[in-house]
Amino acid sequence: MHYIACHECDLVHRLEEIPSGGAARCARCGASLYRPKRDSFNRTLALAVAGVILYLIANTHPFLGFKIGSQIRETTLATGIYQLYLQGMVPIATLVLFTVVLVPAIHLVSMLYILVPLNRQRVPRHLARVYRLVLFLKPWGMVEIFMLGILVSVVKLVKMATIIPGVALFAFLGLIFTLAAMAVTLDDHLLWEQIDTHQ
């Protein structure tokens, strides 16, 4: 049993044992307080490993091919960012690089760093610092929005040329589901409690 304050309205609650599948909500404003997860670290680690593989494919292979007459153009994420950079759109190139390439990479690597030791009942060094970085960067990871962007671009170009879907497209799709599933399986209260129990 411990106490917790709602992060949206500051009302203090006493948290007792929550049945599996249940969730705790703020009695005043309805914000989600805590939802315990089963087998959290193990499942999240499995997803993170899958995520790393999908990420590597998504970033090294072309995601769309574009065929007009005899010309074929294949695009990886990096070439798109590089084209923007060449056109002098440095802020936008940086923003895309950050939200679609860097943040997901930092997220996945950090989760591996945290979860591999935790899964063996050990607490990694700087756990708090690394996980705080993950939480800080979370809203800036935008792989799923990028995917919707691909869809819109395809509709826009389909009349102009033949569009050939690439391997990275499917890897991106898989990565979105993996990242979303990681957010569901990770029990961050349990993660923070590791610091208390191992001190």
Establish if 4 lies at the interface with another protein (CB under 8 A).
yes
User: Which residues ranging from 34 to 63 are in contact with another protein (CB under 8 A)?
Assistant: none
Establish if 123 lies at the interface with another protein (CB under 8 A).
no
CB closer to another protein, 80 vs 174: 80
CB 21 → another protein: shortest distance, Å?
A: 7
Q: Give the integer Cα–Cα distance in Å for 94 and 56.
A: 20
179: nearest Cα among 151, 140, 152: 140
List 167, 180, 183, 195, residue binding another protein (CB under 8 A): 195
Q: Give the integer Cα–Cα distance in Å for 51 and 181.
A: 10
CB 194 → another protein: shortest distance, Å?
A: 10
> CA 183: distance to chain centroid?
8
Q: At a CB cut-off of 8 Å and minimum separation 6, what does 25 contact? A: 31, 32, 33
Establish if 197 lies at the interface with another protein (CB under 8 A).
no
List 96, 103, 118, 168, residue binding another protein (CB under 8 A): 96
List 87, 162, 165, 167, residue binding another protein (CB under 8 A): 87
Query: What DSSP letter does each residue of 128-161 carry, written as one string?
Result: HHHHHHHHHHGGG--HHHHHHHHHHHHHHHTTTS
CB 49 → another protein: shortest distance, Å?
A: 25
Checking DSSP bridges between strand 71-75 and strand 162-165, what pairing results, if any?
Answer: unpaired
List 38, 119, 122, 149, residue binding another protein (CB under 8 A): 149
User: Which residues ranging from 13 to 32 are in contact with another protein (CB under 8 A)?
Assistant: 13-19, 21-31
Using alpha carbons only, what angle is made at residue 189 by residues 187 and 193, rounded to the nearest 5 degrees?
Answer: 120
User: Which residues ranging from 169 to 188 are in contact with another protein (CB under 8 A)?
Assistant: 188
Establish if 102 lies at the interface with another protein (CB under 8 A).
no
Q: Give the integer Cα–Cα distance in Å for 172 and 177.
A: 9
Q: Give the integer Cα–Cα distance in Å for 171 and 143.
A: 11
Stretch that binds another protein, among 49-57, 95-103, 111-119, 171-179 (CB under 8 A): 95-103
Stretch that binds another protein, among 10-18, 49-57, 104-112, 170-178 (CB under 8 A): 10-18
